[in-house]
Each structure stands twice: as structure tokens, then as C-alpha cells.
Amino acid sequence: MSDAAIAVRPVRAAPRGGGLTGLLLVFLPVGLLAWLILYPILRAVIRTLVVQTGTGPALSLETYRFFFTDGYSLANLWLTLWVTALCAVLLLAVCLPIALYLRFAKSRIAALVQGLALFPMFVPSVILAYALIRTLGPNGAVDLVLNAAGLPKIASPYLTPAGPVIGLVWDNIPLTVLMLVAGLGNVSDNAVEAARDAGARPFALLRHIILPQIGNALLVVLSFTVLSIFSAFTLPYVLGPASPEMMGPFMQRTFTDVQDPRMAITQAVITFAICAGFGAFYVRSIARNREASR
């Protein structure tokens, strides 16, 4: 596949009648998209804002007022914001060096590094959660090794906020590396060689030549990370503390255990609102990319 494969290229010699056939062929998936993504979001917003009173529907901010005055809800929101920010920073710190290495390396070891960095994509979150408990949990593998070496045990991250952070970073390494490597593909070898010949040190090279050119890719990575981590469920649910909890498990508990769908949907709308900026940026970036490659 070519690099621009993802863009819909203009159709040459479109067959006659393609208009109707095309619309018919895409009708089902588009309908599904409208019914299961657009409609639920619109309905969630309306359902949480409008209440039925004796005199007809009326605007009500009651559930939102509750969320933003309830200490427990706010603590959960803060924890989620913190974990998301920390994961984003850690992911960039871990993945940028790997991506830079993969972009410029020419040795055979690069294939091994790429394989290892993409491997977590093929490890489902539940298995990862279990593996991290057995490795970093109380009396886990790390404790066994430390104990055998005569060292004290670690403070286990299991059931603390550090648990989901470790798990989410681990889980998001492959896509982050892939996206950064794709972004680094825009940096020309010539520019880098020229700067090197002019005596630029690696750090100056990174700051003045490479970073300015991958600014957009960095922002896309950031948006994508925020969108996927902000409402993560499995890893925070299994590895994280019971209280405060991240928004994912909080919404699930409110919906299933507390059986308060209206409140759960309010929480969901709040996550949409917080992520809206990142989502909009992400969409804009996809749209611009497709314009550029057309």
C-alpha cells in the first residue's frame, strides 16, 4: 500500500449511475454510524438537560450541578485528569526516543526494537492487567527477585493510581510509536544531514530541525492519547484504587451497580465536553491530511 493509501482519491472514469449505487452501498454502515454514535451522543446531551415536568419539558442542570458539587465525583474527575496528563507525558518521553531511533537507525537491531515496541498491540488489556499483577503485585516476580538479592520489596503499584498509569502507558506504546514514526517520516534526511554537517549536536538537531516539523504529529498523538486514556475502563478497573476511581469505572458503577443511568450519562457527557477540543483537533488533522494527499 502506498503512503497516501488512506486518502480517498478522485475516481477516474466513474461508471455511469455510480451515484445511486454508491449511496446504496454505503447506506448500511452510515446508518449504523448515525444510530450508534451520533444519535446516542445527541440524545445523551438532551436527556441530561431536559426533564419532563407537569407543564411539559423544561431545561434542568440538576445532574450537572450535583456532579460539580459532589466531592467524590470531583475527586474522580481530578484523578482521571491527572492520570491522563501523566500518561501523556510518560508516553511521549518513552516513545519519542524509540521513534527517533526507528526513523534514523539502519542496523538490523532496529527490526527487533520495532517488533518489541509494537508487540503490546497483540496483548489484550485483560492479559496485561493480570501479567502486571503477577509481576508488580504484592509478592510478585519483582519482589521475588529483589528478595533473592537481599533487597527490600517494592511499594506495589497494584490498587494505587500508579497501577493504571503503568498499564495504560504499556498498552499505548505501539500506537504512539507508530504515529510518531509516521510523523517523523516528514522530516527529510537532507535537512538532518545538512545540520549534522554544519556541526549541530543531537540535541540542537532535535530542537531546531526535527521538533518543529513534527509539531502536528505530536499534537495528534496527544489528542489520541487523551481520548483513549480519559475514558479507559479495563485497566483502571482492574489495577486502580476503588476510591477515588477513574471516570471509566465510575460511569460503569453508576450505570450498572447504582442503576442511575441519567447520572451515568451525565458523567459521559462531561467526558465528551472535556475531550471535545482534542476530538475536534483530531478530526481537523485527519481532514487536512486527506486534503494534502489528494
Partner 1 sequence: MSRRTDWTGILLAAVLGLVIVVPLVVVAIWAFAEVWRYPSVLPQEFGLRFWNATLARPDVWAAMSMSLRLSVTVTALSALICLPAAYAFARLDFPGRNWLFLSFLASHAFPKFGLLVAIAGIFLNLGLISTFWGVVLIQLVGTLMMMIWIPVAAFQSVDRRMEEAARDAGAGPVRVFWSISLPQAAPTIFAALMLSFVGTFYETEGAWLIGAPEIRTMPVLMITFINNQIVVQYGAVLSVLLWVPSFFALLFTRRLVGSQSFAKGFGV
Contacts (CB under 8 A) with partner 1, residues 164-203: 170, 173, 175, 178-183, 185
Among positions 123, 151, 206, 211, the unique one binding partner 1 when judged by CB under 8 A: 123
Return the residues of window 227-246 that contact partner 1 according to CB under 8 A: 227-228, 230-234, 237-238
**Interface with partner 1 (CB under 8 A), residue from 77, 79, 96, 98:** 98
Residues 111, 114: Cα–Cα separation, whole Å = 5
**Beta partners for residue 59, in sequence order:** 50
* Residue 6 contacts partner 1 per CB under 8 A: yes
Q: Tell me which residues in 67-96 interact with partner 1 (CB under 8 A).
A: none
Q: CB of residue 12 vs partner 1: minimum separation in angstroms?
A: 7
Q: Is 162 in the site for partner 1 (CB under 8 A)?
A: no
Build a one-symbol-per-residue string for 249-268: x at contacts with partner 1 by CB under 8 A, - elsewhere.
--xx--xx----x--xx-xx
At its nearest, how many Å lie between partner 1 and the CB of residue 1?
Answer: 5
Distance CA 291, CA 9 (A): 10
Long-range Cβ contacts of 112-118 (<8 Å, 24+ apart): 117/173, 117/174, 117/177, 118/174, 118/177, 118/178
Three cell numbers at 26?
454505503
Considering the complex, state which of residue 55 and residue 189 has its C-beta at the smaller distance from partner 1: 189
| 103: nearest Cα among 192, 210, 196, 184 | 184
Should residue 28 be labelled a site residue for partner 1 when binding is judged by CB under 8 A? yes
DSSP structure string for 179-246: HHHHHHTTS-HHHHHHHHHTT--HHHIIIIIIHHHTHHHHHHHHHHHHHHHHT--HHHHHHS-SSS--
H-run or E-run covering 14: none
Residue 207 engages partner 1 in binding (rule: CB under 8 A): no
Q: Judged by CB under 8 A, which of 63, 73, 76, 271 binds partner 1?
A: 271
Applying CB under 8 A, among 8, 59, 155, 198 the residue interacting with partner 1 is 8
* Binding residue count for partner 1, defined by CB under 8 A: 121
**Between residues 2 and 52, which has the closer beta carbon with respect to partner 1?**
2
Q: Mark the segment that binds partner 1 (CB under 8 A) among 51-59, 67-75, 142-150, 203-211.
A: 142-150
> Is 241 within 8 Å of 159 (Cβ atoms)?
yes
| Chain centre to alpha carbon of residue 106 | 30
Kindly tell me which of 8 and 55 has the beta carbon lying closer to partner 1: 8
* Cα distance between residue 88 and residue 278, in whole Å: 13
